[in-house]
Structures are given as C-alpha cells and as structure tokens.
Amino acid sequence: MEQGLVTGLAVAMVVFAAPLFLDLALCVAGNLFRPRKPGGEMRRQIRLAVVVPAHDEETMIARTVLSLREAGAGVDLFVVAHNCADRTAKAAADAGAQVVELNNPKLCGKGAALRAGFAAALAAGANAVLVVDADSVVSGNLIHATRTMLEQGAEATQCRYELEMPGPGAGAHPLARLRALAFRGMNVLRAKGRAGLGFSTGLFGNGFALTTDLLERVPFRVNSIAEDVEYHTRLVAEGVQVYWVEDACVHAHSPASSAAQATQEARWEGGRLHVASRATRRLLSALLRGRWRSVETLADVWSLPLSRGVLALTLTAALEVHWLHVFALGCAAICGVYVAESVLLGAEPMRDVAALLGAPLYMVWKALITPLVLRQSRSRAAWARTKREAPQP
C-alpha cells in the first residue's frame, strides 16, 4: 500500500475516533471529583409535576404510575397517551394518573407528547416538570431529590438512568448484562464525570427535570427521535447547565429479544447521528461566544459508540504507522479505565466482569446493526414503541 494512502487512512482513523476518546478521558477524570451542585440553600419554592409520555404502553404504564405515586404522594402526575391504539389511557387512569390524550397522526414524535404534558403541568400550577418514561420504575427519593436540586437554583437536572435487568424467566438475551454495562457507562459514568468537571451532565430522555422559566426561555421545539440530545445541545448553546442528581435513579425495562434490542439501539444511535449533523454549527458558535461547556457537548454528540471505537482501534493494527499505534495504545488505556469505572458503579461488579467475556460478540452484533442505525438517522424517523415482554412480578 502506498505510504500516502496509509497516512491518509491513519489520519482518517484518528479523526473518526478522537471525539469519543476525548470525551471518555474528560469523563474518566471527572469521576475523581464530587459532582458540582448549584448551591447549598433553598432559593425558591418548587411545585413539581411529573410528565410521562406514553405510546402503546398498556402493559407497563400502571407499574410506572404506581412507582411514581409511591415516590411523591400529592404530586400532579400526567400521562400523555400519544396516538395510542391500545388501552394505555385507561390503564394510566385506573392507576391514579391524570391522562392527557393526544390523538393526532401529524404529531408523531415524543417531543409532541412532552409539549402536551408540559402544557398540562403549567395549567395545573407547576413551575417545574420531571419527565419519566412509561416503561420505568423510580427510586423512592427521586421526586424529593429532584425538587431539592431545583430549589437550590438548578434550572435543569438529570438523575441516574439505568437498564433494569430482565428476570431469569424473562427470556433475557445472553448479552443483556453487557448491554446494561454499556448503558451505565453512557448514562451514569459520563454524566457523573461531566458534573465533576463542571460541564453540563446531559439529558437522557428519562429522569430529567426542567423549570417552566427555562422552558419559556428555551422552548422545547425539538422533534427528532433523539429529542433529549437535541434539546441538550440547545441548552448548552444558551449557557444552561444540567445538574446531576447523584442519589436518585430511574430504571427502564430492558427489551428481552435481540431483535427488539437492535431496533432500540439503532434508533438511539441513528437519532444521535442526525442531531450531531444539525447541532455542530450551534455548538461551535456558542464556543466562539465563550461558552466553554460546548467543547464537551460537541465531542459527545460526535462520539462513536464505544464498541465501534474499539473496533476502529483494532483496525489500526493493520496500518504500519508508529504514531497511530501510540495513539491507539493511549485510547485503549482510557477505554480500560472507563470500563473499570463503569463496572465499579454497578451493584454486581463480578457479574459485570464476567459479562465482558462476551464483548467481541457484542461488537460484531453492533457492526451488524449499522444499516439500521443509518436508516434511523433520517430526519423523518418516527417515535415507535420498542417491543418488550411484560415484567415478571
């Protein structure tokens, strides 16, 4: 192979992988520090309402509503039954939620459901909203911890968000634990690390809260299938920091089948790719205006999934370029620390370590769903319910 071509491939490899490993390095370093908080004293009274967007979630919604009611007695709880073809609305009402029915085929995204829920909460007198997905259970302190952070001055918060491991009789895919570990790295370790360095922790679509003042200043006019990532780029560009709620958690029900997992991950990755292409100019402009938190957010939106980044590093062995091998070794070291920290943040670290034996198979699986990712990166990709089995009692 000609040396010029080899050098060109090496440079392309670095450009391809650099955002991911820059972001990982920042987040790994940030986990050495305590997450920063907005202040220590109450600055305002917060009346918090919970908004649950739901699309054909008849089998899950009652469990979610009951979990939220246990966490926050007396808090207004709105379930937005959005273009549902099942009994989601009745199941939510029977469980004790106030139901907002939104039936409009032209409004086909989760963003539309959230806007309807925010409007209902505002009309009921709330000055802040907490978003929880319809397939989730929450920790008993979620509402209290979120309200406290908002009362201390935060305009936006995000709590710990993890996957709920399927029970032994739920037909769990053998790679489910590895997927949960990857999810924890993305939504817990990175968020906590950002908070430790003073960056905006990010929004993950579940377990986040916003004040109504913020919604007036930065309207929630986002409609992509990665509406959380898109809105977060808008917040960072406007100089808003999302704060990390360390001690509270939401757990989402994990799809049991590999086909359902593939569909869900392809939607997430494709949605992020679509947002990255649209948000780059906005974030670069914010950076030029002195909003330094845009640096990490820009690296985040252009980051490869870790499995694809590791695959890219593996391919560097085929190129006889010394400096590229040095770069790859440095990235591999960052990756090793990142995985170790993700394991230690879990409740069952030894099982997570054992799950890492399936990492090569997981990387192959991620490569195989690439066509789905590219398909979901289209701007018109719609909100669709991921097929799941009902949780075991």
Q: Which residues contact 361 (CB under 8 A, 6 or more apart)?
A: 175
Taking only the tens of pLDDT, the chain with its 393 residues reads 577 788 888 888 888 899 999 999 999 999 999 998 887 677 789 999 999 999 999 999 999 999 999 998 789 999 999 999 999 999 999 999 999 999 988 777 899 999 999 999 999 999 999 999 999 999 999 999 999 999 999 999 999 999 987 655 444 555 788 888 989 999 999 999 999 999 999 999 999 999 999 999 999 999 877 889 999 999 999 999 999 999 999 999 876 556 666 666 666 676 777 788 889 999 999 999 999 989 999 999 998 888 888 888 888 878 888 899 899 999 999 999 999 999 999 988 998 998 898 888 878 877 777 777 666 656 555 556 555 555 554
The SS3 call for residue 371 is helix
How would DSSP label each residue in 259-312? HHHHHHHHHHHHHHHHHHHHHHHHHHHHHHTT-TTHHHHHHHHTPPPHHHHHHH
Q: How far apart are CA 385 and CA 110, in angstroms?
A: 10
Q: How far apart are CA 270 and CA 281, in angstroms?
A: 19
What are 138's strand-pairing partners?
250
Task: Report whether 48 contacts 131 (CB < 8 A).
Answer: no
Q: How far apart are CA 45 and CA 58, in angstroms?
A: 35
Q: How far apart are CA 184 and CA 315, in angstroms?
A: 26
How would DSSP label each residue in 142-176? HHHHHHHHHHTT-SEEEEEEEEEPPPTTS---TTH
Q: Which residues contact 295 (CB under 8 A, 6 or more apart)?
A: 287
Give, to the nearest 10 degrees, the angle between helix 190-197 and helix 294-301. Answer: 160
Q: How far apart are CA 78 and CA 131, in angstroms?
A: 10
pLDDT of residue 162: 95
pLDDT of residue 10: 87
Q: How far apart are CA 129 and CA 211, in angstroms?
A: 6
Global pTM? Answer: 0.90
Give, to the nearest 10 degrees, the angle between helix 3-30 and helix 294-301. Answer: 120
Task: Report whether 341 contacts 181 (CB < 8 A).
Answer: no
Task: Report whether 117 contacts 52 (CB < 8 A).
Answer: yes
Report CA 57 to chain centroid distance, whole Å.
Answer: 20
Output helix, strand, coil percentages for the chain, rounded to the nearest 5.
55, 15, 35
Task: Report whether 278 contacts 230 (CB < 8 A).
Answer: yes
Label the pairing between strands 128-131 and 208-211.
antiparallel
- What domains lie within the chain, and their CATH numbers? 3-31+293-376 (no CATH), 48-257 (3.90.550.10)
pLDDT of residue 380: 53
